[in-house]
Chains A and B, each alone.
Chain A
Amino acid sequence: MSLGHMKRSIRKTNPDKERARQEKYYTASQWSLMWRKLIKHRLALISFIILAILYTGAIFAGFLAPYGLGDFSGSYSNAPPSKIRFVHEGEFIGPFVYPYEIAYDEFWTKVFVENTETPYPIRFFVKGSPYKILGLIESNVHLFGVDNSNLQPGKDDVRVMLFGADQLGRDLFSRILIGSQVSLTVPLLGTAISFVLAVIIGGISGYYGGIVDTVIQRIIEVLSSFPTLPLWMALSAAIPPGISVTQVFIAITIIMSLLSWPRLARTVRSRFLSLREEDFVLAARLAGVSDFKIIIKHLVPGFMSYLIVNLTLGIPNMILGETAMSFLGLGMRAPATSWGVLLQETQSVSNIANHPWKLIPVLFVGISVLAFNFLGDGLRDAADPYK
Chain B
Amino acid sequence: MDNMIYIIKRIGMAFLTLLMISFVVFFIIQLPPGDFVDSMVTDMVAQGETVTEQDIANLKAMYRMDRPFLVQYFDWLKGILTGNWGISFYYNQGVLVKIKETLGATLMVSFLTLGVTYIVAIPIAIYSAKNQYSLGDYLFTFLGFVGMAVPNFLLAILLMYLSFKWTGRPIMGLFIDGGITDWASLLEFLKRLIIPITVISLNEACGLIRRIRAQMLDEQEKPYVLCIRAKGTSERTITFKYQMRAILNPIVSGLGGMIAGVFNGSTITAIVLMLPTQGPILLKALQTQDVYLSGGILLISATLVVIGTLISDLLLAALDPRIKLLEEIK
Contacts and interface: CB of A to CB of B under 8 A. Distances in A.
Given A233-B286, A373-B148, A227 B31 contact: no
Contacts of A223: 24
Interface string A320-340: 100110011010000000000
B299 to A, nearest CB: 10
Nearest to A367: B149
B267 A369 contact: no
Interface in A213-259: 218-219, 221-223, 225-231, 233-235, 237-238, 240
B156 to A, nearest CB: 11
B151 A328 contact: no
Interface in A350-379: 352-353, 359, 362, 365-367, 369-370, 373
B260 A234 contact: no
Contact of B267 (A230, A235, A316, A347): A230
A330 B153 CA distance: 15
Interface residues of B, number: 49
A369 B145 CA distance: 10
Contact of B298 (A230, A346, A365, A366): A230
Interface of A is mostly: helix
Interface residues of A, number: 39
A164 B157 CA distance: 20
A233 B28 contact: no
B148 A316 contact: yes
Contact of B28 (A238, A330, A349, A352): A238
B111 to A, nearest CB: 15
A234 B24 contact: no
B28 A231 contact: yes
B29 interface: yes
Identify the interface centre among B32, B149, B259: most chain A CB within 10 Å of its CB: B149
A257 to B, nearest CB: 16
B164 interface: yes
Nearest to A356: B161
Nearest to B145: A370
Contacts of A39: none
A370 to B, nearest CB: 5
Given A226-B305, A320-B151, A324-B153, A237 B286 contact: yes
Contact of B271 (A222, A228, A328): A328
A230 B263 contact: yes
Contacts, number: 122
Interface string B281-298: 011001101000010011
A369 B17 contact: no
Given A230-B301, A233-B267, A349 B161 contact: yes
B329 interface: no
B161 A353 contact: yes
Contacts of A233: 267, 282-283, 286
A330 B264 contact: no
Identify the interface centre among A226, A230, A324, A330: most chain B CB within 10 Å of its CB: A230
Interface string A192-219: 0000000000000000000000000011
Given A237-B289, A346-B154, 11 more contacts: A226-B305, A227-B261, A230-B282, A230-B298, A238-B28, A238-B32, A324-B268, A347-B157, A349-B161, A365-B149, A365-B150
10 contacts: A226-B24, A228-B264, A230-B301, A233-B283, A328-B268, A347-B157, A349-B164, A353-B164, A362-B150, A366-B150
Interface of B: 16-17, 20-21, 24, 28-29, 31-33, 145-146, 148-151, 153-154, 157-158, 160-161, 164-165, 170, 256, 259-261, 263-265, 267-268, 271-272, 282-283, 286-287, 289, 294, 297-298, 301-302, 305-306, 309
Interface of A: 218-219, 221-223, 225-231, 233-235, 237-238, 240, 316, 320, 323-324, 327-328, 330, 343, 346-347, 349, 352-353, 359, 362, 365-367, 369-370, 373
